[in-house]
Amino acid sequence: MKKVSYSMKTTLLSKSLVSIVLTALISITAVTLAAQKTSDPVLLKIGNQDITVSEFMSVYQKNNVEGEVLDRKSLEEYLDLYINFKLKVKEAEELGLDTVSSFINELKGYRDQLARPYFVDDKLNEKLLHEAYARKNTDIRASHILISIDQYAPPADTLEAYNKIMEIRKRIVENKEDFGEVAMEVSDDPSARDMPARGFQPARKGNKGDIGYFSVFDMVYPFEEAAYKLNVGEVSMPVRTQFGYHLIKLQDKKPALGRVQVAHLFLQLPQEANDEKTNSLKIKADSLYDALKNGAVWDTLVRKFSDDKSSSVNGGVLPWFGSNRMVPQFIDGIRSIEDSGQISKPVLTSYGWHIIKLIDVKPVGSFEDEKENLKQSLTKDIRANLSKEAIINRIKEEARFTRNDKAVEAFYQVIDSSIYSRKWTIEQAEGLNKTIARLGKEEYNQQDFAQFLAKNQSINPKETVPQFIDRIFNKFTEEKVIQYEDARLEEKYPEFRALVKEYRDGILLFELTDQKVWSKAIKDTTGLKEFYEKNRDNYIWGDRADAILFISSTREGIEKAHNMASERLSVDQIKEAFGTDENNTVTILEKKFPKNEEFIIDNIEWEKGISPIVQENEERFGFAVIKDLVAPEHKTLSEARGIITADYQNYLEEEWLKQLRGKYTVIVNQDVLSTIK
C-alpha cells in the first residue's frame, strides 16, 4: 500500500480510532464510583496492562453522542470496540513498532503540531487582530522628521541622536516653529526637501515631511503604533525604528477610503514651474472641467488633453489602489466626490492638475470578512513576535528565570575578529564554566552558551561584539525557554498528554492494521481469490440489459442519432456522422446495465430493439438499443474486486482479532463496570 498523505493519514487515524468507537452511540450522564478503595479503579486488564475508569471514560466522553441516554447494552458494545483497539495497540507494542525510527519521527511531527498552540498567546493575537481591523477602518495622514541612526549604533551615538531630535521637538512644540519648514531643514528623509533635476530624473518638490495617508501595516509597527495614538495636530515624542528616531505630527484622521478605482485627466506641470505657469495650467484645467460639466465626453477629452499617456488611451482609468498609494491631495480630491461616475474639481498635486472621475469603491468589509487577510498580514509583521515574546516572558516568570550578567559579559573578552569570518572556535572560551542562567531547576553554564555561540556566529558588520553577544544570548535564552516548556507540556496539561497518546496509539494502530489487513488484502491475491471462491454467492448480478446508450445535450442531436439507429447504421457510422457536426455531439455507452445505474435505462421498457427517446433534464436526452436481456449470474472477481477486497479486509480483521483475543488475557471488572451509569 503506497504511503498516504498527511491529510489522508489524519483522516485514517480518526477512522482507526473509531475502531474504538465507530460513531459514538451514547452520552455520559454521570460517573459514580461507589465503595471503591481508590478514586480511579481499574476497569479493564489486557495482558499485564491495567486500564482505569478515567482512561476509558476520557476516550468515551470525547467520542460520545451528546444527549443520548446511557444503557448497559450500548456501554458494553462500546467497551468491546475499545478492547479491540487496545488489543491492536498492545500487539503493535509487543512487535516493537513504537521503537522504529519512522514511527518516532512521525509521532514527533504530530506532537510538534499539537504543541504549537501552547506557544501562542491567543488573547494577545485576538487583541492585535481587532486593533488592526479598527485601524484598517481609519486612514490617517502624518508628517515626520527623521534623524537617522543605525539600529546597531553604540549607546553614545544613540544618545546623541536622541538629544538632537529632542532639541528639534522643542523648536516645534515650545518655540512654535512650523513642522514642515523644520522638516525641510533638518530631516534625514530626503523627500522632505526640493530636489533639482538630475540626468533623466525631473525636478521634484519636497513634501515637507508629509508622507500622506496610510493605514494598518503600511508603516513599520512602532511608527504606526505612535501615529494612531496621536490627536490631530499633536506632535509625538521621539519614536525609535530601525531607521532612526522620528517625530510624528498627525495631520488628519478620516474614515477609511477602502480600495478605489478612478480615472483622471492629467495636466503636467513643466519643470521649474512658476506661479504664472501654474495658474495658466489651472485656467486650462478649469475650462476642461466646465466642458465636462456641460456634457463633453470624458474619454474624448482625456485622449486629447491628458498628459498621462499610459492611461489616456483607456479613458484615464488607473488600477485599483488604497489611500497609501497616492499623494494626499489626490486622495482628498477623491474624497470630495460623492458618487460613482461623478468628477472632482481640478486638484493640484506636486505633479500637476488632475480632474478625477470616481469609477468604483470597495469599502472595508466586516471583521469576519477581513479576518483571514489580517491574519496573513499579522504573521509577516513584526507584531507577530509580540505573542511569542509574551509566552516566553510568562514562562520565564513562572520558572523564575535568572541571568548572570557577569557570566555573559565574560564573552566580550573571548570574542575576536574571527567571529566576522565565522571562524571563532569554542576552544577560545575554554575555562569559562560558570552558571550563566537558571530556569526552574535547570542550570545552563558558559560552555552551553559557547556551543550555541559557535553555531550562530553570523555577525552584522555594523554590530559591536557586545551587541552581538547580547543578541545571541537572547536567542539562546529563547531556545532554552521553549525547550524547557515543551518538555513539561504533558505534565502541565493533561488534555495535551491525552491527545499525544491518542495520536501515538492511532499511528501504531494504523501501521499494524495496514500490515495485517489493508495492504495484505491488496497484495494477497491468492487469499483474495480463495475468499471469493468460498463466498461467490454473495456477489451476484441482478437482471441486466445488454445495451447501447446514446446520449446528447440537444434534442436535435438525439433525434438525429435515433433516426440513424432506426436505419440500422452501426455505432461506428453514427460516431463518424457526428464527428463532422460541430453543433451536435453524442455520447455512446455500451455494456450490461443493471437497474438503478443509468436514468435512461431505468425509464424505458426492457425489450429488445430501439427504445423511444427519454429526457432527463433540459440538457440530457437519450435512448437505448437493447441487444439482449441477461439473467442473474455471479459477478467475476474483476467485476466486483472493490467490494470483495473490502469484505476480505473485514474477514482478515475478524480473524486477527480472534487471534489477539486468544493471545492476550482480557478481564473486565464487572463490579466497576456496573458503577458507570
**Per-10-residue mean pLDDT for the chain, 677 residues long?**
34 37 29 46 93 87 63 83 95 96 96 94 94 97 97 91 98 97 96 80 84 96 97 98 97 96 95 80 96 96 96 96 95 96 95 96 96 94 92 96 97 88 91 96 96 86 86 96 96 93 95 94 95 96 96 94 95 89 87 94 95 94 96 95 96 96 94 83
Longest dimension (CA), the chain: 106
Sequence-distant (6+) residues with CB within 8 A of 84 are 19, 20, 657
| Chain Cα centroid distance, residue 495 | 25
What's the CA gap between 182 and 202, in Å, rounded?
25
Q: How many CB atoms lie within 10 A of CB 387?
A: 20
What's the CA gap between 284 and 306, in Å, rounded?
11
Q: What torsion do the CA atoms of 348, 352, 354, 360 make, to the nearest 10 degrees?
A: -100
Domain extent listing, the chain: 1-94+495-540+639-677, 138-255, 259-363, 399-486, 541-630
Following DSSP, what letter does each residue of 55-69 receive, concatenated?
HHHHHHHHH--TTPP
What's the CA gap between 147 and 107, in Å, rounded?
52
What's the CA gap between 432 and 272, in Å, rounded?
67
Sequence-distant (6+) residues with CB within 8 A of 110 are 500, 503, 507
What's the CA gap between 92 and 236, in Å, rounded?
66
What's the CA gap between 231 and 171, in Å, rounded?
19
pTM over 0.75: no
CB 351 within 8 A of CB 285: no
CATH fold for domain 138-255: Chitinase A; domain 3 (3.10.50)
Nearest to 89 by CA among 530, 545, 667, 505: 505
* pLDDT the model gives residue 422: 87
- CATH class belonging to 259-363: alpha beta
What's the CA gap between 432 and 408, in Å, rounded?
10
Alpha helices for 31-115 (secondary structure H):
53-63, 72-94, 101-115
* pLDDT the model gives residue 677: 62
* pLDDT the model gives residue 4: 33
Cell of 138: 481609519
Pairing of strands 544-552, 442-445: unpaired
Cell of 197: 533635476
Burial class (CB in 10 A: 0-12, 13-18, 19+), 331: buried
Q: Could you check whether 138-255 and 259-363 share the same CATH topology?
A: yes
User: What is the enclosing helix (H) or strand (E) of 478?
Assistant: helix 465-486
CB 305 within 8 A of CB 354: no
Q: How far apart are the first and last CA of the chain?
A: 42
